[in-house]
């Protein structure tokens, strides 16, 4: 007889799952060393303005470049770092690197665009994240306008009152606060009503069903419309095809991000030249070892 073992989420325990658990355990055992050896690196992904298709910012995304496993995805290690209450160490490290990269660009005379950084809801509990961010900015003399804070919608759902206070504090201090992954999981329009977000990042889930599901297109158009009426800017995540781009442009989505315009990559791979903001800019090909 075959013994079938299921995990907590009722998934059949397969070899794949085995590998995931092995990787998870590896992450648990090695994150201290990863900090020490500086295995964490900031990757940047372009955000473009829909109408002009020009870069209007970047999102900073964490990668763990491991000598044994290659590139370890944040989908694995963020959750682990949250569970051991050390996520703020990574996020502060990321913000420090982002500020350092911004300083290099400013000093080199490049026209710099703002960078969005992802915060975990635990960052607000584990430390005074705003003063940590202010410290990083002071260290490299970076104005707050160049850092945008992303908070996922699920984080807000998990602790509305508590997080609401922090979001307000950041906005009162002059930071732009963006809602990440809107429409994934248990979204609530109340979140758009109760908190003042500058930008809502629309989850890529709707775009993944773009061709096959007319309902997804209707929902996308409705979200963009509603956000506009509420005075919130919109950015669509996960744009991969010209058809998706054309549709989003047509419904009035203001900003976009996705593989169509460029995959996340380390700062060293960006071609720094006068016209590097155009989509014709040469891309480093990550496909061979990218984790997605």
Q: Nearer Cβ to Mg ion, position 30 or 117? A: 117
Query: Pseudo-torsion of CA 193, 196, 201, 207, nearest 10°?
Result: 10
Q: How far apart are the first and last CA of the chain?
A: 36
Q: How far is the CB of 261 from ligand C2E (least distance, A)?
A: 8
Quick one: what does residue 196 bind among Mg ion, ligand C2E, none, with the CB cut-off 5 to 8 Å set by partner type?
A: none
Q: Which is nearer to ligand C2E, 118 or 277 (CB)?
A: 118
292 binds, among Mg ion, ligand C2E, none (CB under 5 to 8 A by kind): ligand C2E
120 or 191: CB nearest ligand C2E: 120
Q: Quote the tokens at residue 181.
A: 């992954």
When the beta carbons of 96 and 237 are compared against ligand C2E, the nearer one is 237
Q: How far is the CB of 200 from ligand C2E (least distance, A)?
A: 12
Q: Quote the tokens at residue 292.
A: 């997605």
Cβ 47 vs Cβ 56: under 8 Å: yes
Shortest distance (Å) from residue 159 CB to ligand C2E: 15
Q: What number of residues does the chain have?
A: 292
Q: Which is nearer to ligand C2E, 6 or 85 (CB)?
A: 85
Q: Which residues contact 263 (CB under 8 A, 6 or more apart)?
A: 45, 283, 286, 290, 292
Stretch that binds Mg ion, among 22-30, 50-58, 62-70, 174-182 (CB under 5 A): 174-182
Nearer to Mg ion, 179 or 267 (CB): 179
Residue closer to ligand C2E, measured from CB, 152 or 277: 152
CB of 97 vs Mg ion, minimal distance in Å: 16
Name which position in 47, 66, 101, 180 contacts Mg ion (CB under 5 A).
180
Contacts 24+ apart (CB under 8 A), 208-214: 208/238, 210/241, 210/243, 210/244, 210/247, 211/243
User: Token pair of 135, please?
Assistant: 């410290």
Cα 136 to Cα 112, 133, 139, 253, distances in angstroms: 17, 5, 5, 32
What stretches of the chain adopt beta strand conformation (E)?
40-49, 55-66, 70-72, 115-119, 147-152, 176-182, 199-202, 233-236, 255-256, 265-266
Using CB under 5 A, which residues numbered 231 to 250 contact Mg ion?
237
Question: Other CB atoms closer than 10 Å to residue 292's CB: what's the count?
Answer: 10
142: left (phi over 0), alpha (psi -120 to 50) or beta: beta
Residues that bind ligand C2E (CB under 6 A): 45, 61-62, 73-75, 78, 87, 90-91, 94, 118-120, 150, 152, 180-181, 204, 237-240, 257-259, 264, 292
Looking only at residues 142 through 161 of this chain, which bind Mg ion when binding is defined by CB under 5 A? Answer: 150
Which tokens hold the place of 30? 């090695």
Of ligand C2E, Mg ion, none, which one sits near residue 240, judging by CB under 5 to 8 A according to partner kind?
Answer: ligand C2E
118 near Mg ion, judged by CB under 5 A: yes
Residue ranges binding Mg ion (CB under 5 A):
118, 150, 180-181, 237
């Amino acid at each position: 007889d075959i013994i079938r073992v299921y995990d907590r989420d009722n998934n059949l325990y397969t070899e794949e799952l085995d590998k995931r658990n092995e990787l998870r355990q590896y992450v648990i055992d090695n994150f201290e060393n990863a900090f020490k050896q500086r295995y964490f690196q900031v990757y940047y992904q372009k955000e473009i303005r829909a109408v002009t298709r020009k870069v209007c910012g970047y999102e900073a995304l964490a990668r763990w470049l491991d000598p044994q496993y290659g590139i370890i995805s944040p989908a694995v290690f963020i959750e682990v770092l949250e569970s051991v209450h050390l996520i703020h160490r990574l996020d502060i490290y990321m913000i420090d690197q982002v500020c350092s990269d911004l300083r290099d660009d400013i000093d080199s005379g490049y026209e710099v665009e703002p960078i969005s950084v992802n915060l975990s809801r635990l960052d607000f509990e584990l430390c005074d994240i705003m003063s940590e961010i202010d410290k990083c900015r002071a260290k490299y003399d970076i104005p707050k306008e160049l850092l945008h804070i992303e908070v996922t919608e699920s984080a807000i759902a998990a602790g509305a009152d508590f997080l609401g206070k922090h979001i307000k504090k950041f906005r009162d201090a002059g930071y732009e606060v963006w809602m990440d992954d809107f429409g994934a999981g248990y979204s609530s329009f109340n979140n758009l009503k109760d908190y003042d977000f500058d930008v809502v990042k629309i989850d890529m889930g709707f775009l993944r069903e773009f061709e096959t599901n007319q309902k997804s297109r209707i929902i996308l158009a409705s979200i963009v419309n509603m956000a506009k009426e509420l005075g919130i800017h919109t950015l669509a995540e996960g744009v991969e095809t010209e058809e998706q781009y054309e549709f989003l442009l047509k419904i009035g989505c203001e900003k976009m991000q996705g593989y169509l315009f460029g995959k996340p990559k380390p700062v060293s791979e960006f071609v720094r030249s006068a016209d590097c903001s155009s989509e014709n800019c040469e891309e480093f090909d990550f496909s061979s070892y990218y984790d997605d």
